[in-house]
Structure 1
């Protein structure tokens, strides 16, 4: 197998992975709190191909040899946690984060995090007077005590910018809980799961990857705020994603053409040899 065929095959494999990332972004353009994924690539292997001594001429200014590459590979996929547009819904249990923070939730016994604030109140089957604050998939939203948040079902909810939840019954306002917010210090230490959730990479230290967003004082430029009755939309720019997809598809076509040309040349060489 010659170098051109190897380079084309490796490049096509990497381009396909890039297309998968773009397709995932486009598919989630309407997902609340979704964060755009970005792919990075690196050379698989490069070496210097020496040229014949006959090209070593007097007065030559360039060095002998040229770089010979064998394609590129996907090195890693990162998450772009930039702010998405805020959509007003006027639903009391909808929450939008403005800033670099995430909600903490319990997903099937696993600690997880999300930017999707489309919450609901799920009544407790054993006690109809209280309900749990849950995600749209039914996962429990956590408070600063690391326990599921429970709220009375006979009143309305009032949630301030810091995440303090109060129950309002008539003119009586009763504090209920404090939403737990975390700041992704090192997003590369998170891995995306189903249902728009993130968990820690196996072996990652939670204190290194995540910070305590609740501990930031008012006035701190890194402090995040909540907006009740609103949702954060995806930060995917559909126009940019479609433009990137067209460019990547064109690159895939060129690599496929290079592979086809290489195969044709090998067939001609074998035919001449025979």
Structure 2
């Protein structure tokens, strides 16, 4: 079994819930760890080297992972650190534009840069069966060199040299998630007070949404081909016609339609433009303006 000295040492800046989970996973995998946190007591009980300052922590190792509150805190924390020759991995949730700007900022200071988007919550970190992974983008050389280390807490998925693409993938998936949550909230609101137990509806919702998720690949193929009509099962005209039933039921149940109306409005606009035989793929183009 490899000893700790055989594993890449690294520095971790930030010991919030996610940072602590990451740190524990790297320690469990045998990686020597130097940490810094504004509140040093967060490191108590961890077999780590605790640096007095962020600059001291950065100096300790070539590989530096940042897991702080936000992008502004990254710049403030690293203001006095010497980044020359460092491999900086930023796991702070950000926008694509800010990730690209941070990559330029790091490179101007002599560091290689990798941006990350964590697709997991802290309890999933270090638990492969839970399916955690992290999107990475930026320096491919950095990623390839440290792939095994980065993959210790969660699967590491490289999505390209554009430093903004990890954040873009992250936000795209989260946006789809919140759209699903909106639909689920509306569904529960419809049956609330009707003698239908939420726990009886839950498996029906789960199975239905899983079945409908099969359309995601079809939408992708249509977007790439530019043909929005081939293989369509329920065309846009049919779906718009069904809108009245959904909205009417919400009105009868005393449920707000504010989660549904924006999407229905897009459907009607696309249909008014003549897209009778399309499915919902064309709504992507409307959102792009």
Rg (Cα) greater in structure:
1
| Higher-RCO chain (CA-CA 8 Å, sequence separation at least 6) | 1
TM-score of the aligned structures, taking structure 2 as reference length: 0.24
TM-score of the aligned structures, taking structure 1 as reference length: 0.25
Structure having the higher strand fraction is: 1
